Each structure stands twice: as C-alpha cells, then as structure tokens.
Amino acid sequence: MASGAVAGCMGALLGLGGGVFLVPFLNAWFGLDFKTAAAISLVTVIATSSAVSAGTTGRNLINLRLGMLLEVASAAGGVAAGMTVSHISDITLERGFAGMAALIAVLMLTRLERRNVIQDTTVHPGSLGGRFHDEESGGEVIYQVRRLPLALFVSFIAGNVSAAFGIGGGILKVPVLTAWCGVPMRVAAATSSLMIGVTAVASVPIQYANGYVSPPLAGAAVLGVLVGSRGGLWFGARARSKWLKLLMALVLMTVSVIYLRRTL
C-alpha cells in the first residue's frame, strides 16, 4: 500500500500512471513475477487515471478531442499487446523495460527549457489545440497541435508498451507530445492521464481473465495509489515544469539501471 501511495503521487505529478515505479517495486522487492506485477500495476493505472482526471477537470488542461483521437491508437496497441504478452518471456520484458526507461530519460533531459505556449491570445489554436490559464506566465495561453500522425504513432506504441510493461504509457506520450507536437507539459500530462485509463482497460480484462490480477494485492495497490495521487495533484499544481522534467528523468535513469543490473 505504501508503494502504491508513492507511485500514485509520482504518477499524478508527471501525468504518468505511476506504473513505472510500482512495477519495479512489486517485481524486484516484493518478488512477484514480471507479468503479475505488470498486471497489478495496470489496474492501479486505471485508478490513477480516473482519480487524477476527476481532480483536473474544470481547468481546461485536459484536451478531450486530442485525447479521444489518440485513444484510437493507444487502445489498439493495448488490445494487440494484451493478447500477445503472455507469450513473451519475463527477461525479454525486463530488458525492454530498462531500455525504454533510459531512452525517455535522455529525451527528457535534452528538452528541459522548451515551452510550447503562445502568449499572444489572438492566435487561433486550430481544431485540436486549445487555451488555458497558465500560472507560470500568469495569463491565458494558447497552443496548437502539430504533427498529429506522430502523436497517433507514439500513442499506438504507448498502448503496446502499456500492456506489456504494466505502465500507463504516459512515459512515452508526454515527452513526444511536448517535444514535437506543440502540446504544453501540463496539457500533455492531463490529457495523457485521462487517456491511460482507456489504454489500460484495453488490456487489463485479458490479464484479469488470465489470472494475473490477485484481487487482494490489486485492491491494496489501488487504495495506496488513490491516496498517493491526491498528494501528487497538490504538489503538481505548485511545482515548475522544469523541475518536474528533471525529477522524471532522474527516476527513469534509476529504474533503468536497476533493471539492467538484474537482467545482465
């Protein structure tokens, strides 16, 4: 439950499901096999998604249209991987997990200073873009969505990765959306938080039917994550984007090193 709380807090903070923290904990410290850890983590991803999204609504940070469009791709990825993941070996999954975490950390570190908001409020945001009140620049800001095919592609990959590794997939989408698709960090995080619930639901029922989800453990993890995500929401509204990105990169590097050491 405590690990669920920490994972939920980090998840809410970074727009991730928190799975990237919970999977290593359940797997490496708690001794569950990788697929069971991943399935339980995916269940908590649904909880984080619903709880965080419910707490974020009303601030115009969630882009419903962009989210729904990208869900087509991420749910397809989730369904595909959900059906095939039971045929993949644990060690392959763990190596993939390490590689992915390292890659994203590097990506995040190289893009620390970027801001995707336009402060001229007369610019039209386009059919998928939007505007919101940004506390860092102290006013209404506008953003436009660029490179939609790339966003769809990364969402499909994120869906696969989500089902295979038990994470929300925000870890992939948020950096790509902020770095190349013109979406501001907070909007990307909020939209991703909403999306990961549907992404996880695209594969969790299959894992549940396969018997990978132990109800008492999943219940405890979910309750822990729900408590933790409250803390994350509170802190997230007060921290700066740059520090969120630094924190994200640091945690990912640590996770990656732990997994590489385990599988070599």
48-56, 97-105, 167-175, 231-239 -> range binding other proteins (CB under 8 A): 48-56
Q: Which of 28, 30, 50, 90 binds other proteins (CB under 8 A)?
A: 50
Taking the least distance from each CB to other proteins, the nearer of 38 and 98 is 38
**CA 48 – CA 200 distance, rounded (Å):** 11
Q: Which residues of 172-187 are buried (b: 16+ CB within 10 A; e: fewer)?
A: bbbbbbbbebbbbbbb
Report whether 185 contacts 38 (CB < 8 A): no
Beta carbon of residue 15, minimum distance to other proteins (angstroms, whole number): 16
**CA 77 – CA 155 distance, rounded (Å):** 8
Sign of CA dihedral 245, 250, 255, 260: positive
Q: Which residues pair with 133 in a beta bridge?
A: 140
Q: Is 206 in the site for other proteins (CB under 8 A)?
A: yes
Interface with other proteins (CB under 8 A), residue total: 51
22-30, 102-110, 170-178, 208-216 -> range binding other proteins (CB under 8 A): 208-216
**CA 19 – CA 124 distance, rounded (Å):** 36
Ranges of beta strands (E only) in the chain are 130-134, 139-143
Taking the least distance from each CB to other proteins, the nearer of 60 and 263 is 60
Taking the least distance from each CB to other proteins, the nearer of 53 and 256 is 53
Q: How many residues does the chain have?
A: 264
**Phi, psi of 237, deg, nearest 5:** -70, -15
Report whether 204 contacts 215 (CB < 8 A): no
Taking the least distance from each CB to other proteins, the nearer of 11 and 82 is 82
Beta carbon of residue 186, minimum distance to other proteins (angstroms, whole number): 13
Beta carbon of residue 116, minimum distance to other proteins (angstroms, whole number): 15
Beta carbon of residue 60, minimum distance to other proteins (angstroms, whole number): 5
**CA 19 – CA 37 distance, rounded (Å):** 9
**CA 118 – CA 109 distance, rounded (Å):** 22
Q: Which of 15, 78, 169, 232 binds other proteins (CB under 8 A)?
A: 78
Beta carbon of residue 214, minimum distance to other proteins (angstroms, whole number): 9
103-111, 127-135, 145-153, 241-249 -> range binding other proteins (CB under 8 A): 127-135
Beta carbon of residue 52, minimum distance to other proteins (angstroms, whole number): 9
Q: Is 49 in the site for other proteins (CB under 8 A)?
A: yes
Q: 238 exposed, middle or buried (CB, 10 Å; 0-12, 13-18, 19+)?
A: exposed
**Phi, psi of 118, deg, nearest 5:** -105, 125
Interface residue list for other proteins (CB under 8 A)? 43, 46-47, 49-51, 53-54, 56-58, 60, 62-65, 68-69, 71-72, 75-76, 78-79, 82-83, 125, 130-132, 197-198, 200-206, 208-210, 213, 215-216, 218-220, 222-223, 226
